[in-house]
Amino acid sequence: MKALLLSSLNKVFKDTEPNFTEFSSFSSLKNENFSFQIALLAENKSETTVQVSLDSPLAEDIKIYFVRNIPAGTNGFDNSDSFHYDLNRKEFPDLLEPINDSVKLKKGEWNALWVEYKPTAQVSGEYDIKVKITAGESVTQKVFKLNIIDKELPKQELLYTNWFHNDCLCTYYNVDIFSDEYWEIVEKYIKNAGERGMNMILTPVFTPPLDTAIGGERPTVQLVKVEKKNGKYTFDFENFEKYVELCLKHGIEAFEISHFFTQWGATSAPKVVATVNGKEKRIFGWDTKATGKAYSEFLESFAKAFKKEVKKLGIKDRCWLHVSDEPNEEQVKNYKKSAELLHGLFPTFKSLDALSHINYYRQGIVKTPICTEETADIFRAEVKNFWTYHCCCQVAEFAPNRLFSQPSQRSRVLGVLLYKYDAKGFLQWGHNFWYAQYSKHPIDPYKVTDAGGSFPSGDSFVVYPGKNGEPLNSLRNLVFADALQDLRALRLLEKLTSRKYVLNLIEKDLDIPLSFKNYPHEQSWLLNLRKEVNEAIKNN
């Protein structure tokens, strides 16, 4: 049996012996999650079933996972840059599968164990984490030394949302929206998201008009019940209140109210259902003009009720409104009309939208633009509250992303970049999008990872649906969470020293300034930087 200690930034491929120096020690802060890996190679048949045991003073807060390979479909586009693994690979290590005490390997193939320390009690000092791998009479033990510094990461200031798709949960688990089973499942997923750094959530007051084919519909997940009687609307916020309560319970602090107009141009109203004369029916949708009289009057009624509701709950300042997602340069007129209607009804509310063209901001149409990473320098120079996002398109110009085919450091470097750019927020669209593109049909995320051949594998989700409504993490979700911890560590060091000190530490050995297009690609740079940051925190 061969065994090798590796950092969480490695991806261990079945057919490739890891070519890295052993990663056998590191430091963390006392409220920080920390992960490392053990690469394993069964050299003969007697080593294919192994028992895994743990010996450490930290054992109660440590879980061990088997890194399961998941099939890949689309791995990139024609413009994909060189900072990828082989785009022809048919599978990648991704799913973190909990193990009890044993795991099965295949002779001659490399696999990995993922070891995560997730503190519930804050301790400091140096601790050994001993993992014993037993295969028959063969025993291999690997020892990792974790030095826990007696300092705490500050609260996460960055708002981070990864679009949470309630309909995908209902479809996969075959439960009715707002049933008891739904609430049990959704709480588990919200809890997991909050534990991994998500502190803002897409909140479907109406069914989100996102990734929906024109003329098509997604399953109804409308939190606000609507009744129309004698031409007047009334609203029931019971499910909305329950959703908000669950989110606040599990660390979600901001509510990204779902888009009030359709994606890619704001031409139509979202799907809205209501009880009319005792029967539930769709009253608005693709056939409803965005700023027409019918929808405008409805929004006016809704705005009055919603403003009272969020004031009652004390979350008005935590709510962010969306107009429409990703309008292009030709859609300014439609978007502007819809934005003026929405902002007129909610003049004191915060709002934001993902877009690629800064003219929307320059014209004052968008309050908080969320730009693509490639345009970060343009937006950062003009926008006070800088937000950015990545999606399927960040395969070129070395933009950070989280795709199957990309090295993990391409995702984790984002924490350092968000610090340098003093970002206020970050968005990604696919926490658990388990549909094909345009939501035309459900997919099995264990078999189809590219939204039916439309997006690079890894773009549309970071969690897998486990048994009994339990979410299972991808290694990509935990690596991204590490990036958020890096950001918090940098902000802590800034408080202890100065922003100038931290920026100098980040860029001291770089030939060119750090940017979304230019950063070291070696994982050693990231690990060494974090090591120096930890030392500086310890000594200040």
Give the domains, in start order, of the chain with CATH numbers.
2-150 (2.60.40.10)
Question: E strands, 248-377, where?
Answer: 254-257, 272-276, 279-284, 319-321, 350-351, 353-354, 369-372
Answer yes or no: are the C-beta atoms of 226 and 233 closer than 8 Å.
yes
Cross-strand partners of 427: 161, 389
Amino acid at 236: D
Residue 522 φ then ψ, to 5°: -80, 135
Answer yes or no: are the C-beta atoms of 378 and 357 closer than 8 Å.
no
Residue 408 φ then ψ, to 5°: -65, -30
Residue 210: per-residue pLDDT: 98
Residue 256: per-residue pLDDT: 98
Q: Which residues of the chain are under the pLDDT cut of 70?
A: none
Cross-strand partners of 275: 227, 280
Q: How far apart are CA 457 and CA 451, in angstroms?
A: 8
Residue 136: per-residue pLDDT: 86
- The region that residue 230 occupies, defined by phi over 0 for left and psi between -120 and 50 for alpha, beta otherwise, is left
Q: What is the pLDDT of residues 254-275, one digit of tens each?
A: 999 999 999 988 999 999 999 9
Q: How far apart are CA 266 and CA 515, in angstroms?
A: 32
Please say whether the dihedral angle defined by the alpha carbons of residues 261, 267, 272 and 274, taken in this order, is positive or negative.
Answer: positive
**Beta strand 369-372 pairing with 353-354:** parallel
Give the chain's mean pLDDT: 97
* Long-range CB pairs of 499-508, under 8 A, 24+ apart, other chains included: 502/419, 502/533, 503/420, 505/529, 505/532, 505/533, 505/536, 506/416, 506/419, 506/420
Tokens 């909610």 sit at which residue? 346
Q: How far apart are CA 520 and CA 30, in angstroms?
A: 28
Residue 100: per-residue pLDDT: 86
Q: What is the pLDDT of residues 448-457, one digit of tens each?
A: 999 999 999 9
Question: E strands, 213-351, where?
Answer: 225-229, 232-236, 254-257, 272-276, 279-284, 319-321, 350-351
Tokens 């027409």 sit at which residue? 292
Q: How far apart are CA 256 and CA 318, in angstroms?
A: 8
DSSP letter for each residue of 42-61 = --SGGGSEEEEEEE-TTGGG
